[in-house]
Amino acid sequence: MMPLADPEAAFGWRTIAAVARGGPMRLPETAWQRIAAARAVVDAIVARGIPAYGVSTGIGAFCDTVVPPAEQRALSRHIVLSHAVGTGPHLPEAETRAIMAAAVANLSHGRSGVRPAVVALLLACLERRCIPAVPRQGSVGYLSHMAHVALALIGEGEGLVDGALRPAREALGHHGLAPLVLDTKEGLSLINGTPCATGLAALALAQAERLFDWADGLAALSFEAVGSQDSAFAAAPMNLHASPGLKATAARLRGYLAGSDRVAAAKGRRLQDALSLRAVPHVHGAARDAFAYAATVVDRELASPTDNPLVGGTPEAPEVFSTAHAVGAGVALAMDTLGIAVAEVAAMAERRLDRLLNPLVSGLPPFLAGTGGLHSGLMIAQYTAASLVAENRRLAAPASLDGGITSGLQEDYLSHATPASLKTLVILDNAAQVLGIEWVVAAQASDLYPGPHARGAGTGALHARLRAHLPVFRDDRPLGRDLETAATILRREDIDPPP
């Protein structure tokens, strides 16, 4: 009997994200045993002539077309060559690494039937930073991205050497590696499953987790700068709601604003504030709840073999299971949900920064300018934020509903899981830019605040962080550079988000 999966050896999204950023990846001995056992089953399937999709038959609409035994190894290579149809710019290194790491996790379940040498080469490429060139576009669910990874593994396509594109065979040789010669089923197993979607989703989760922490802190800085009522975040009313994300966000906001003389002085100034201020726990909390759901789905996917077909049994009694695990509908829905959540957090940030700039509601100098008219201040920064929020609104349309038909009606449902992950990464990048703009605006508003000096402990730290990089804006330099500097700090993985 094939060794069972080891729950302690399962790879979660945090591990995949860490590998994507350059971290190591190792397989336990139990995983290598599973991989070898599955290969023995595939060898038995081939030797006995047992019908198996992609082994003794073609794939897609050719699933009933028999491939003679003498040509089954060639089928693996042909599958890779024919499926490497990606177009457009190449993925960044981190995104390709995430896909490769998720592929290792998928193969490590020991239900695909590749030789250990295939997994070993993937791990060696990750370790030595021999990264295939993978075009970004061309996936309706899976296949094309992993096909370009597989293409490099067999010495075709292109790879990176010191940041420059080289023929894949040359790139492998530069790192002391030799191209694979694929055996039966290996071509199909390398391109199949959900590693593209789950790898990219792991990166999206890592970025979203950081972004939501930044969003809470920057919302507090804006809240303080406009003189809002912190009773909206009080523990007693917040604890009446069952959402864990809402309660966590409210507690974080109270922590940021603790000790703020500015908030204390604003008590009683108005009965309640605008929703973009007092509903921060509700929107950010809902986003955190959506994040928790998406993280659970991605971890479940990584804990599951998603190849087709899957193998089981023993060489004496081999089993072949034709499944649809590779569809990845759960990941598509999860990433669509996360993308919407991120877009909503950014949309609320744009509303807050607009209130800080608008003299009709801010109580601050118009557009936070020095001399209005002569100076425009930060007026046009809100235009950029509005543009990014609008783009996110378009991107947040669910990819999982896109549908489509491929392979002569054989594949008449498409989940678009990989595109869902890709567009969520774009939404996250746009949202980081919007939050960077809020940071610049809120810090400027904080500097111009007419009341008490003392900020909260958390908001004061956030203000000081930005001022360590950017002085007060006085229409004395291109504003766009300031906005990009703030967003870059938010994106940098070596800088921790606010606690």
Sort residue 22 into left (φ over 0), alpha (ψ -120 to 50) or beta: left
Q: Is the pLDDT of residue 2 over 60?
A: no
The phi, psi pair for 184, rounded to 5°, reads -60, 140
Confidence of residue 7 (pLDDT cuts 50, 70, 90): very low
Q: Is 53 annotated in the active site? A: yes
CA 208/CA 31 separation, integer angstroms: 30
CA 149/CA 84 separation, integer angstroms: 9
Higher local confidence (pLDDT), 308 or 105:
105
Give the mean pLDDT of 356-363: 92
Q: What is the pTM of this model?
A: 0.95
CA 54/CA 369 separation, integer angstroms: 66
Q: Give residues with Cβ within 8 angstroms of 494, minimum separation 6.
A: none
Q: Give residues with Cβ within 8 angstroms of 204, minimum separation 6.
A: 335, 338, 421, 424, 425, 428
Write down the catalytic residue from 53, 293, 383, 449. Answer: 53
Q: Is the pLDDT of residue 5 over 70?
A: no
**CB burial readout 76-103, b (16+ within 10 A) else e:** bbbbbbebbebeeebbebbbbbbbbbbb
Q: Give the strand pairing for 158-161 and 135-137.
A: unpaired
pLDDT score for 6: 52
Give the mean pLDDT of 223-228: 92
Q: Give the chain's mean pLDDT.
A: 92
Give the mean pLDDT of 397-422: 84
Give the mean pLDDT of 154-178: 93
pLDDT score for 268: 81
pLDDT score for 432: 98
What domains sit in the chain, N to C, each tagged with a CATH number? 7-192 (1.10.275.10), 200-491 (1.20.200.10)
Confidence of residue 403 (pLDDT cuts 50, 70, 90): confident
Whole-number Cα distances in Å, 266 to 47, 214, 456 = 80, 24, 13
Please confirm whether the linkage preceding 359 is cis (ω < 30° from 0): no
Residue 87's DSSP bridge partners are 137
pLDDT score for 85: 92
**How many other C-beta atoms are found inside a 10 Å radius of the C-beta of residue 187?**
28
Confidence of residue 12 (pLDDT cuts 50, 70, 90): very high
- Summarize pLDDT for 229-249 with one digit per residue, the tens: 889 999 999 999 999 999 999
Q: Is the pLDDT of residue 291 over 90?
A: yes
Over the Cα atoms of the chain, what is R_g? 26
- Summarize pLDDT for 67-76 with one digit per residue, the tens: 887 788 889 9
Tokens of 283: 């929107």
Confidence of residue 497 (pLDDT cuts 50, 70, 90): confident
pLDDT score for 409: 67
pLDDT score for 33: 97
Helix spans in 311-357 (H): 329-357
Q: How close are the terminal C-alpha atoms of the chain, in Å?
A: 49
Q: Give the strand pairing for 87-90 and 164-167.
A: unpaired
- Summarize pLDDT for 453-479 with one digit per residue, the tens: 799 999 999 999 999 999 999 999 999
pLDDT score for 317: 95
Give the mean pLDDT of 319-343: 95
Q: Which of 59-73, 142-156, 463-477 has the lowest mean pLDDT?
A: 59-73
Q: Is the pLDDT of residue 258 over 50?
A: yes
Percent of the chain at pLDDT exceeding 70: 97
